[in-house]
Amino acid sequence: MRQLLSGTAAARGSALGRARVRLPHALDIDEARIGAEDVEAELARFHESVDSVRADMRSLRERLHGALAQEIGEFLDLHALLLDDPELLSGIDALIRTGLYTADYALRLQRNRIAAVFEGMDDPYLRSRIDDIDQVIGRLHAALHSQRAALQGASGEILVTDTVAPAELAELQAQGVVGVITAGGSPLSHSAILARSLHLPLVVGAAQALQKINDGDVLAIDGGSGLVVLEPDAADLRGHHRRVAEVKRERRQLNRLRREPTRTLDGADIKLWANAESRNDVTEAHALGAAGVGLYRTEFLFLGSSELPDEEAQFRAYRDAVLAMTGRTVTIRTLDLGADKADKTGLALRNEPNPALGLRGVRLSLARSGLLHTQLRAIARASGYGPLRVLVPMVSGGEEVRAVRHALDEVLRELRAEGREIAAQIPLGAMIEVPSAALALPTFVGLCDFLSIGTNDLVQYLLAADRTNEALDGLYSPLHPAVLRVLRDVVRTGQRRGKPVTVCGEIAADPAFVPMLLALGLTELSLHPATLLEVRRTIRACDLGQLRAAAPALLRARNRSGIERWLQANPAG
């Protein structure tokens, strides 16, 4: 019987397929014991499953390439670290050895012990880490029974589950899964961001999905509206086919924009930069006609290795990015480890009480001066091959910019003394993503050659709302009067001092927000290459003069509803 379920749109696209239901991760295993004579065999069975899971994750990492390898790698690395956690493994060993429990039941008991600790934490980010524990436990349980890990899907299926990890999405798509529905989750989570990059339809927050949907049910999902149809009728099928045809037509139209200028209806040129973290991203950015790379993430060089990359390894990566852009500027962000990005070397602290507010970004670089010196040398050497800029993350005030400027000047003197071919000048910019930096910007903007607004963290810190916490979905939003005022003030400060201002983050990649950003005075956006053509099309349908004239009404909005009404009244085109 046809039923209509609703969730939250997280990744656009329309999918039709059979349901594959994966129940929540909590293991429903009855208590079971073994004889004392079976302990060693049970321990061996358990550790064989650990080795099997390690091998599976290593194999998955090797099969991924380019941007996906970097995007997903950090989550696979985290799961690999959990597999080596003595708290997890020794606890299970002890339960088998002294409690005489089966490995399955020991897994359940140890999972519940660890979950109780996580659930008692005050910090919502740390509480959310139980999802990673559950992912690892689920893989171990499947391996104990020589089953494929729980994320297995089949061609033409739509996965229905409680939550999905970023590390799963690429593998699911490779298996032929055409869409994902989750009972929880947020459209602003890492999983949702990755699903949009993969063009994999995703609906989150469909609370009734696990109760209403059974294996084998036919589903039609619309990742653009958040609607899920269980056992669709003829009208639903026609609607699905119409949406699929529209998407194909839209992609053909977008491909025609690859070489078109990013220019508004009234003739204003807007710069579209690309965010990148791999050679593949840079290649795609070049092919799509990006103005340059507005944000090159360097941390991927650190996340995948158990040793710190040396100057030569970093230099080659930065040089290749510069060469690939053939004269267009590459903006290289210094290391932004910390918070949810921990490397294998132990450089980033793993057990900080509040990692989102901890030793991350430029704070970590300045605390490890040798690390910063090596990275700046590699960047400066790459400047001999084409134009680049240096961007400093997590700036909270002028002292950090001044310290990096001093370190960069020292590096440039060194390299010139060595006879290296480097640029005469390397522009230095600050990421404005900490509220204190936005407020204090007039006092240190003179130290900067350009500015980049990191909206993901800025909104999070400004509103004190974790963007990955689904309970705060209604609070975390760039459509807040305080966010708009901060954006306007940063743009005005940059304009008064002649400093270019770029906005990066998910807000820049959403065509619906483009009129708002243009109205606030922004003329440079940096976004993932996957959405660059959609944003270019939106900009070409905007009248910049009309939007700027409507800006006072936007800034008078008192709440999110008022801003949404402004967006409805001032669409592109």
From the candidates 190, 286, 480, 528, give the one annotated as an active-site residue: 190
CA dist 340 and 78 (Å) reads 10
Structure tokens at 417: 């003394």
Backbone angles phi, psi at 331, to 5 degrees: -100, 110
Q: Could you please report the per-residue DSSP string of 100-126? A: -B-HHHHHHHHHHHHHHHHHT-S-HHH
Strands 3-6 and 202-204: unpaired
Q: For 391, how many CA atoms within 13 A lie in the half-sphere containing its CB? A: 29
CB atoms within 10 A of CB 104: 18
CA dist 104 and 494 (Å) reads 59
Residue 542 among the catalytic residues: no
First-to-last alpha carbon distance for the chain, in angstroms, is 41
From the candidates 141, 448, 504, 542, give the one annotated as an active-site residue: 504
CA dist 186 and 124 (Å) reads 14
Residue 190 among the catalytic residues: yes
Buried b or exposed e, range 404-427, using 16+ CB within 10 angstroms: bbebbeebbeebeeeeeebbeebb
Q: Which residues contact 557 (CB under 8 A, 6 or more apart)?
A: 481, 484, 563, 565, 566
Looking at the DSSP bridge assignments, the partners of residue 390 are: 332, 428
Q: Which residues participate in catalysis according to the annotation?
A: 190, 504
